[in-house]
Structure 1
């Protein structure tokens, strides 16, 4: 069933900023090795001002965006915020079984249709911050190099980054953290001690950059230490399910529990996503007290047997 026609005034469209996205097309998919292996959709975005750039999004990011928009604008939501309502396009549903590459490939036509209809909705909705952030080219997007752009027509194969970003990343820069917020500092506020390498997104061999997670398997016979490499940014907040699944594969054991050590050194069992967020938050608070390689996560996992309660500091 097709969407009812929702017209937008051309004069309103003319008032939109030039950086508003007006079309988006999936150019390719790329497999990533994260806490679980997954596929990213490489999307070419075109703005009202004529700029073109690439963004990289997972299906879960499409799903999260759609949930936000339904909550804010769907006429079927009695608790929606704001006076405006809008009939949203349909998003292809989640698939829990099957080959991940085949699932990602099959979603491309549906997601292209979804983005086309979404960006064709009334202009006031295009100004929503959730939509603008979804289609915005982040620093991480601009640093990635596409392996191929199979689905783009030959004349559009060369996709350039927006000029201001090129100027930003060609100039000397420094990264720092203030109040747990990490970002780029202006040149006038820093002293260049050692120049950065030519490419931040590529290793010496030209391959993708990996982050390292240190994890420990605690058994009655001793401790087994592993360093797990993943193509995830150090700021990622993985789910409990993803971490548990990865640790089962790493240590080839099913009946396990995952834990972290709190600031007092006690082992705390992780049971859900809230516990994962607490672990990450506490590790960032302690980040300056522990010296780690720059590509290592500030948090560590301690894996124990699910039935072994002797590893916890409890009183009888």
Structure 2
């Protein structure tokens, strides 16, 4: 696929106008129009409603994400090779990958391993994040990319959906809810559970995720910052937890029962990176490559994980 065609298409989508896209790319409107037409012919589908205003079709919306990923990866590759050719390439700094809990299930190790194969010369440091580091690890420059859930509510962070899964609760075998492990329960049935507490500085999006959006003050006296601490409280009968369906595959502790919540909104896991802002410290040069590889794998593995 010709990256020039993708660049013209993406510019039209972002500008909502062929002429403005042409000015941005220093091309003629006729050239941009021709690029989009060639791309539509190559893919066999219309990508844009010509308007006014110009807006993407359903296929165009799908292609927009792919285009951004491919163009970002191409820019990173050009920069990498330019540094190598000019002799400016020094020993690469480690890429610091933050992971909350089990990350995005099987997608997380697949992404890390794919990056290691693609960039064997770049060291990778894995850093486990607790519940309070939902966005702070990125913002405080302790990691370069992070597998988190849910999406951080901060304009300084950019997050891409990787997997989308059913919600579950985690209860001890002695809990009356444990009998519903096969049939499932409803949100209203679990609101009286003693869910574990998290510190006051835990980001609000994460607490809303944990407690299904409930503002009820009823909580366990148990505090937890990691999945292991959650499960310790659960098997001791002192607390309940919540998570995504894949949680059960990674934390199958004796005495802990995982029960699907049938009417809870399915939630996503995300790959988060710092947004590029004027005057801010530039991101690690390999972030774009890691992000592109992870998103490519998400398109392949994400649906399987969601259905598992």
- What TM-score, normalized to structure 2? 0.21
Question: Going by fraction, where is helix more abundant, 1 or 2?
Answer: 2
